[in-house]
Structure 1
């Protein structure tokens, strides 16, 4: 089940990245070339290759997004764990509880999707703006303005979602592990709120 969930979440990220790349390449090709290439989209072989490439692209974007946000993620983790060793001990402490592990996997899945779509949203609105400027469309300024505004809101929204899920998950992990390994938490972790209780440990 965990492997299937990881496949799906990487594919969700990869499809968005592939869409951005496709819009960019079509924009470069121009109107005439794009119309000539359109029939290829109906090919089963091309569809299969696109799916495989989307998965590979999803892995690439996921790793890139993780690298960019590593510093911020460590800052969030430091609010509840004094070191990487403490964090690893806490994860081991809950590993024997299938329910907590399942909740943690679900939280990580949501976190990865939001993290990947922070960058997908950025890529998409940039290439859509580029496409609008490349093709003979009316009201370009309005369309570019609207696309940029929507894109900026999506980037911000996915980032805030990623941050909130990540922070709540660390807090939940600290709360869950504290009774099992109290020596790791010399200070009492603040009680989790009802809204945060829907999150889970990373």
Structure 2
């Protein structure tokens, strides 16, 4: 989970940096640029990205919780039936590993959904602070492109979540319907 939180946090940190650039303007940004090119700044940025990744992941999970619950009810009518399925899944290591991988991809998609919206907004604000040819066109293209990517992350998260719930329900039903092999006593020495 460390890597996925860091991947999400890097996007959040980039959006924050763009927002700062938009707020302080071009001349101050040029003065601060050498400070950003240091080992200390890289270390602080990495730590900040991890912390921001945790916050972004939690915010995205909270924002998408109503949709997630709605998707879950298609495969699990109650929260307790889902919880029981998750506990049952933990007993099957191969399936648990697949489910962990799917959850990792879902976390990245939901985090980058928020990141893409934040990056689009921050980029547009930063572009407003700089004067250049075709500024309005570049801002419009940036905004449209960012919103399309955000929608793509939403669709990917939704598809991954739906598939994850469906597969979990199918795998648990299959595991529960498989005949269990009874414990057979081992042959031992014959008694006289």
Q: Do the structures match in fold with TM over 0.5?
A: yes
Cα distance in 2, alignment partners of residues 120 and 94 from structure 1 = 31
Matches within 5 A, 1:1-202: 6-181=1-176
* TM-score of the aligned structures, taking structure 1 as reference length: 0.85
Taking the aligned partners of 1:148 and 1:180, their CA distance within structure 2 comes to 47
Q: 1:136: how far off?
A: 1.3
TM-score normalised to structure 2 length: 0.90
State how far apart, in whole Å, the 1-side matches of 2:174 and 2:135 are. Answer: 60
SS of 2:174's equivalent? Answer: coil
SS in 2 for 1:59: helix
* Per-residue deviation, residues 143-180 of structure 1 (Å, max 9, x unmatched): 01100110110110000000000000000000000134
Instruction: Name the larger-Rg structure.
Output: 2
- The CA distance in 2 between the partners of 1:179 and 1:158, in whole Å, is 31
CA distance in 1, matches of 2:21, 2:127: 11
Q: Which moved more, 1:92-101 or 1:150-159?
A: 92-101
Q: Which residue of 2 aligns with 1:192?
A: none
Long gaps (5+) in structure 1: 1-5, 183-202
Q: CA RMSD in A?
A: 0.9
Q: Verify the 8 A CA contact 1:90 1:181 in the aligned structure 2.
A: no
| Gap regions ≥5 residues in structure 2 | 178-192
